[in-house]
Chain A
Amino acid sequence: MIRGSTLRTVRLGVKNLMLHPLRSFLTTLGITIGVAAVICMLAVGEGASYEAQQKIKALGSNNILLRSVKPAELETQQQSSMAPQRYGLEYEEVEILRETMPAVRVVVPVRELNKSAAYGEFQVNVPIYGTTEQWMAVSGVKLYEGRFLVEADSRYSLNVCVLGTHTAGELFPFENPIGADILIAKKSFRVVGIYGPRDDSESGALAADGIVIPIESAREYFGELEIRTSAGSREFKMVQLQEIKVQIEGEGDKLEDNVVATAASIRQLLTLLHDQPDYVIDVPLEKLQAAKEQAQIWQIFLGVIASMALVVAGIGIMNVMLATVTERTREIGIRRALGAKRGHIISQFLVETVVLSCAGGLLGVALGIAAPMIVEAASGMKAIFVPSFAVLAFTISAGVGVLFGIYPAWRAAQMDPVEALRHE
């Protein structure tokens, strides 16, 4: 019975609204635009957050990167003697990390050399990495041809190297590099393989340049001392490792916990081992989390701005409903005389507001689904529609209907029947 009467109240409400189709439509339009704006803004926020996250993910969210940096004091201090500046990560730290950190899958040391490489008349200046066979797993690259380093290469300090695809193209424009010997700072290395980016992501270009050699070979042939000559001065510095890449094991939430815990332990450990701030710890996952948080705040901000449109629309609805109530004062009087309780009058007008705002909400959802596509096509900004946005926006619109409908309905119900019947 209750359900039946509710249905009839709704039908009556729709009928009354259809008496003024233009007025109802215009009132609805406000809600439609508001809902579409909310959905669209949320979608744009979601798109921005997605792009930021993709960039960070390319760094590897299961990695922790330790890098040597020149401490600020050494930077300002004038070099007086021939004694080299010593700082940065060291070989033994790799071992310590391997042995003390529980959730670590691999620890990959990277010694970066500033040398040029040549083959015949072709010469390139690309980063030369002295590292281990596990480097490929943590660097977002894959093997294109030949083989990568193997453990024995390092153990026996073999003169072998693997080229990035781009570097290979520069050094060997006309022949297959595999098996050829190139010179790195006058030392001969045999090319055993070619690596390249795993996919066409932006970080791919970076992964296509470079030469990888066994870390022990790098140490043996080139040492740690680096002499940099610039106009009028010489700089001597000794840095054992430019980078240590740590990959953490685990999946999903477990991985995240492991990364956070390990990063904390590494920080503690390095504080103990280093007496100067000559390293940085880069945790892509933490950046990812920060980016996510920031994206969320941004999204809420956009959503709130767009919701203002809904509030304005709600005020519009309220205005129209107040006018409607005044206009229908006599009808209210008649209905009261014929037995309508205050609750009946309230529900009659509230239903009309809710019908208005829900109709607007539905139209808005339809528009809101289309809008992100239009935004993407028109501006190139990424916008991602998620169904929950539609649910949220629609719920807000229905809520606005109730909120702004209560007062007009209450006013209608409070009218004195005698006065209402006398109203012209």
Chain B
Amino acid sequence: MADPKSGDTPSSDILVRLDKVERHYVMGQTVVRALDGVDLEIKRGEYWAIVGRSGSGKSTLLNLLGCLDRPTGGHYYLGGTSVGELDDDEISEIRGQRIGFIFQSFNLIPQLTVLENLEVPLFYQDIDPAYARQRAVDLATKVGLGERLDHRPLELSGGQQQRVAIARALMNDPLILLADEATGNLDSRTEQEILALLDELHSEGKTIIMVTHGQTVADRARRVLYLRDGKVEQIVKNRESAIHEDAVLEQ
């Protein structure tokens, strides 16, 4: 492993590097070790699943990866930047530019239309509104909602809402897509549709990290990280998918 002080160079394939990352919560007298020394390297274009029971620390890990939270120990490098040392504005900028979130409960803003929801990430980037609108229309079309631009989230089915959320996560062309139980609120048929969409994005070269507690969902990923009590239990490389991944990397 490289010297933890030095970040990865931008040209490096290593996108995410966790170096003995800890996240401890102090609750009164007791210290809860939600994450306890996690080492992890994720390369560009990989498709990861983080699996564990509730309380295993997988949501905490995802929040750290998404720069919503900061490690209390260790280092987290995202695209060469050490996230723990950034101030709130800088970390917000990182979220806005490098991260795409997909949540279990979709988290669309209810009073905004599909189009407006899609525009939100670029609103904070001071990007030309005309460009943002065009990109929103393009991505909505890509996820199959080109006809629903003026609908509000509550007028859409769960699967459709999650498609909007995925499109929104792609608006800023992020380094990584983070999906937190993305199919947890969907029926199994819709789940398959969403997973197929994620597969498609992966095949286009997107780096995806998803959190799940379902083994079948985890099997879609190329690498699976098993988390237990805040520690990495094991990392499994799914054989059949690895072939596919190598093919992508060769492209």
Taking Cβ atoms with an 8 Å cutoff, the residues of A that contact B are 1, 4-5, 8, 15-16, 19, 330-331, 333-344, 417-418, 421
Contacts and interface: CB of A to CB of B under 8 A. Distances in A.
Interface stretch (B39-47, B87-95, B138-146, B230-238): B87-95
Interface residues of B, number: 27
A339 B96 contact: yes
B68 A334 contact: no
7 contacts: A5-B123, A334-B107, A336-B95, A337-B68, A337-B101, A339-B95, A341-B89
A343 B92 CA distance: 11
Nearest to B106: A334
Contact of A338 (B89, B124, B126, B129): B124
Contacts of B101: 337-338
A339 B68 CA distance: 10
Closest 3 CB pairs of A and B: A339-B96, A341-B92, A339-B124
Contacts of B68: 336-337, 417-418, 421
B126 A342 contact: no
Interface of B: 63, 66, 68-69, 88-89, 92-93, 95-97, 99, 101, 103, 107-109, 111, 120-121, 123-126, 129, 168, 172
A339 B63 CA distance: 14
A330 B124 CA distance: 17
Given A337-B66, A338-B121, A421 B107 contact: yes
Contacts of B92: 336, 339-342
B52 to A, nearest CB: 18
Contacts of B120: 334-335, 338
Contacts of A334: 107-109, 120
Nearest to A18: B111
Given A330-B107, A337-B107, A338-B95, 19 more contacts: A1-B126, A5-B123, A8-B129, A16-B111, A335-B109, A335-B120, A335-B124, A336-B92, A337-B99, A338-B101, A338-B124, A339-B95, A339-B96, A339-B97, A340-B124, A342-B88, A418-B69, A421-B103, A421-B107
A341 B67 CA distance: 13
A417 B168 CA distance: 18
Given A16-B111, A330-B107, A339 B69 contact: no
Nearest to A424: B105
B88 A341 contact: yes
Contacts of A336: 68, 92, 95
A341 B107 contact: no
A39 to B, nearest CB: 35
B217 to A, nearest CB: 21
